[in-house]
Amino acid sequence: MVVIPGGSFQMGSPTTEPERSDNEGPVHEVTLRPFAMGRTEVTFAEYDHFAAATGLQPTMGWTDKRPVINVSWEDATAYAAWLSDQTGERYRLPTEAEWEYAARAGILDPWTGNCIHTDRGPTTAAI
């Protein structure tokens, strides 16, 4: 887990942004308190460990360190609850605002879904 410092950012896309969809606006300020987030996505191996422990079907993908895919929101929240029970810590899925704030790492450019390289993000962001 990595602590993401609290702060404010403009969430949403301006109407002038190319390829903007209707559900990306209006732009509005969001302020977040510090929160912790996994340094990497949950892997197939981690999720399949949970599935085996709880009697769920394992993923039909790789059983390695690649990010798990094709998991429902219900199963993802069940994983977070199970992880909380196993560790005694409190885990949950990040909110949409938390995820975007962490993923942007202080960059205000339009989000294209591509990686933000280390030469673009602020040095204080721990992503």
Q: Quick: pLDDT tens for 47-91.
A: 999 999 999 888 876 778 899 988 999 999 999 999 999 999 999
Look at the block and give the residue holding tokens 């977040």.
32
* Residue type (1 letter), 100: E
Question: Please, what's the b/e burial string for 34-65 (b: 16 or more CB within 10 A of its CB; e: otherwise)?
Answer: ebebeeeebbbebbbbbbeeeebeebeeeeee
- 94 vs 92: CA distance, rounded Å: 6
Backbone dihedral region for residue 15 (phi beyond 0: left; psi -120 to 50: alpha; all else: beta): alpha
- Closest Cα partner for 32 from 10, 6, 9, 4? 6
Predicted confidence at residue 125, as pLDDT, reads: 34
- 127 vs 118: CA distance, rounded Å: 10
Rounded to two decimals, the pTM is 0.74
